[in-house]
Structure 1
Amino acid sequence: MTDRQRVSHVLRRLTFGPTTSEVDAAEKAGLTTTVSTALTRRAAPPEPDIDPPSEPPQDTDRDARRKARAEQNAELSRWWLRQMAADSSAAEKLTFFWHGHWATSIQKVKSAAMMFQQQQTFRRYGTGDTGAFVRAMLRDPALILWLDGQKNTAKAPNENLARELMELFTLGVGNYTEDDVKAGARVLTGWTIDRSTGTAKLMPKRHDKTPVTLLGRTGVNDTDAYADLLVRHEAHAPFLASRLWVRYGSGAAPSAAVTGRLVAAFGPGRSVTAMLQALALDPEFAGTGNQLVKQPVEWVIGAIRQLGIDVGDLDEKQLKQMSTTMRALGQVPLRPPSVGGWPAGTAWLTTSSAQVRLRSAPNLVTLAPAAVASLEQAARTDRLDALARLLVIDQWSDRTAAVLTPAAKDPKRLLALGLATPEYAVH
């Protein structure tokens, strides 16, 4: 693997899709600097123009309420698409990772502002100590609504949040018991949501103050103490290492050696950034090329970035077209299908998805005259190499090259076919 291929591989995984110029800069900077630069924390993005969350008056027409919510949802979706396309660092990719990890859907939450607030929690806490992160998420209004936490009272405990908190978010299956679920639910009783302000509040009268035995510790009756137990549990660091490796590494569970190195990097400070940096620099990471299938959001955002499409210049119809493509491919930001998030791997490689990519790619190409012009300037015999450089693909297979070669005479068609190749879908 050449130095260019190595930094390309890292940037394809850490970000939504590196551009040719970004790979050029990374090749000069070297692997270690490239990883460090990509993971450098960026300033928080400007907020979208979304009104504070509030329930419309009861006498407001139901259709009017539904329309207002739909407009807010669409505004947040468009704003996030612009943000993902504009951020060349790993930050927004990590925000999207957490969105799939702490999977919460706007369809049940019904508040764009609360969903944006959750995103901001991902950005604020998702790069550092998972202790502070888990404490913040247990106060997150969107997550509480999504998992019925507001229904969890001393008189009628609801186990949804406690169960998913341990199974999907912090520890993994087999590292807690049903008694732990029941005890955790009691500890989390009493949280309510004020929709007029979009905030969570602990109501003492609804909270069960009785100390419980939870994860081997007796006397727990506080949300923060529960969060601390979770992140100090011996299963927490290996669980997170596995989740990150599956999404950023090979798509399969990491080896024991990789897990050990990632856990060591995570350290007592429980740093997500340190674990990601160790992942990108791990000796086994270099051999994981062509083992991950791009999620639809990655495919669309990567194409936008590499084709040089300025999302800020797109009109509402064009932005809607991007969202329609992601929906047709089976992934819509803010709407994960379940608390388990989106699938991974070959679930995205279907006959239907291949047809959608073939239909959608020409629409993307029409928005990228500069990318088309760059291929036109290359000699016809050099256009496959120019296409690979533009889309940051290491090399074409003989089979793909045989399909692309006849299209070299038509740069628009060549570019559209390039976006639909296996080499672009799998990285």
Structure 2
Amino acid sequence: MGKSAEWMRTARVLRRTGFGATGPEIDAVSDVAGYLRAALTADPEADPGARATPVPELVPPAPLGKGATTEARKQYQAQITGQLDTLTWWWLRRMAAVRVPVREKLTLLWHNHFATSATKVRNAAEMAAQNRTLRAGGAGDFSALAYAMLTDPAMLRWLDGVANTAKAPNENLSREFMELFALGHGNGYTETDVREGARALTGWTITGGAATFDVERHDTGAKTVLGATGALDARSFCDAVLARPESPRFVAGRLWQQLASDDPPSDAALNRLTAAYGPGRDLSALVTAVCTDPEFTTARDTVVHGPVEWLIAAVRAFRIPLTADADARALAGTLRKLGQLPFYPPTVGGWPRGQGWMSSAAAQIRLTAAMDLMKQADLSPITQAGRADRLDATAYLLGVGSWSDRSAAVLATAVDQPPRLAALAINTPEYLTS
């Protein structure tokens, strides 16, 4: 039986702001705006699932001396890789464990926005610290989050901020901050602004895993960035960039594309989102505005869920345990094959969106992974249903309102094999999109 339009709208919000949503979870939400308000104002560290998955202890191995042997260097790199693997497994476990996943989903979205890769950073403690900063600030004031990223140790390593000195300015962080993080490509800044911005950002280095400002490495001269002139530093550079009228529309548009549609919003919708974001750059208000906008609530199948959302949603729906390292490692292996492993975005632009996740090669990887997952799945909501009701029971469990005729025909071939039915169901268009 198909669900009501209201149920479908609620399901869409929960799926977009979390990792899947089961029928009972959707039934429990009668006021979407109230649900979002509570989730966005709650302390993410107080979630029972978060408390049950504490961040692992990540103490970087002691640096090697110049005379270190080849074997010692190999062991050093193995320790670093081991810590990064542990960190990745921890985040997958936390995503699966949290009771209300809104803040965890936002952390993933901001990780995609301020994309930083452990491939270059090679420091699990710094990647964990950035992850914590994104979670803590991802529902607050965007200016605070943006400044925190400008002075974040992992970001400073990733975009060569530590190499940016008065004597040798490095433009990477200045350029990417304007182009990808705060304004958008070609949105009102020039090459001169990039160069001057690089001068403003000089002086930051890393000491003991923390970002520190070394005035000796900072260019104290006058600079002009986007019309702001003075002895600009990282704070005043950030303020100058975010003060541009293009910035609110860029940030609102980015959140729309992450939560609502692979296509940009209409001008009218963008105006509504920008008004909600407001002079306080309120990310909670912006997220709520996106998820309650008429263009969001009336649209269907406008988002293709990426591999992390897809896989964690299945783990949550089928209560698949991730207690053993082998389980978490298998999950990470699947995500690596699918091209979206947390902490390893391919570029500073983050992961691609949309139909690219629906390739035939990806479909085969997903189906194989799904069959493996079902070996540990709790299939009782399906097995306890009568044979004639199993398609509906599967749809309800997965938060799908109804199956298309084509999907129903394929799924009907597996009603007597619940593991296969479940594996096929999480590979239908109805589950891969919302």
User: Equivalent pairs: percent with the same residue?
Assistant: 45
What's the counterpart of residue 120 of structure 2? Answer: 108
Matching of residue 191 in structure 1 with residue 191 in structure 2: no
**Post-superposition shift, 1:54?**
5.1
Letter in 1 for 2:58: D
The answer to whether the Cα contact below 8 Å between 1:48 and 1:75 also exists between their aligned partners in 2 is no
What's the counterpart of residue 374 of structure 1? Answer: 381
- How many matched pairs? 419
Which of 5, 9, 23 does residue 8 from structure 2 map onto? 5
What's the counterpart of residue 316 of structure 2? Answer: 305
Letter in 2 for 1:143: M
SS at match of 1:378: coil
- 2-side partners of 1:284 and 1:426: how far apart? 17
- 2-side partners of 1:57 and 1:406: how far apart? 59
Letter in 1 for 2:311: V
1:302-358, Cα deviation, whole Å (9 max, x unpaired): 1011112233xx311121111111111111110000000000001111010000111
TM-score (normalizing by structure 1): 0.95
Which of 20, 37, 44 does residue 17 from structure 1 map onto? 20
1:46-94, Cα deviation, whole Å (9 max, x unpaired): 5422333354332370011011111111111111011111122310000
Letter in 1 for 2:349: G
Mean Cα displacement is larger for which, 41-50 or 82-91? 41-50
What's the counterpart of residue 236 of structure 1? Answer: 247
**Post-superposition shift, 1:366?**
1.2
Which of 245, 260, 265 does residue 254 from structure 1 map onto? 265
Give 1:6-85 correspondences, 5 Å limit.
6-26=9-29, 29-44=30-45, 45=50, 47-53=54-60, 55-58=62-65, 59=68, 61-85=72-96
- 1-side partners of 2:203 and 2:391: how far apart? 61
Which of 141, 155, 160 does residue 129 from structure 1 map onto? 141
**Post-superposition shift, 1:220?**
4.2
TM-score (normalizing by structure 2): 0.94
Matching of residue 386 in structure 1 with residue 393 in structure 2: yes
- 1-side partners of 2:229 and 2:268: how far apart? 34
Q: Which runs of 5+ in 1 are unaligned?
A: none
- 1-side partners of 2:44 and 2:114: how far apart? 22
- 2-side partners of 1:119 and 1:224: how far apart? 21
- 2-side partners of 1:55 and 1:423: how far apart? 50
The answer to whether the Cα contact below 8 Å between 2:149 and 2:155 also exists between their aligned partners in 1 is yes
Letter in 2 for 1:38: A
SS at match of 1:121: helix
RMSD: 1.4
Cα 1:426–1:360 shift into 2, 3 Å? same
The answer to whether the Cα contact below 8 Å between 1:50 and 1:76 also exists between their aligned partners in 2 is no
Letter in 2 for 1:383: R
SS at match of 2:414: helix
1:254-308, Cα deviation, whole Å (9 max, x unpaired): 1111111111111121110100001111111012221111110001101011112
What's the counterpart of residue 236 of structure 2? Answer: 225
- 2-side partners of 1:188 and 1:199: how far apart? 16
Give 1:139-178 correspondences, 5 Å limit.
139-174=151-186, 175-178=188-191
The answer to whether the Cα contact below 8 Å between 1:40 and 1:89 also exists between their aligned partners in 2 is no
Q: Which runs of 5+ in 2 are unaligned?
A: none
- 2-side partners of 1:327 and 1:293: how far apart? 18
Runs of 4+ in 1 over 6 A off after TM superposition: none
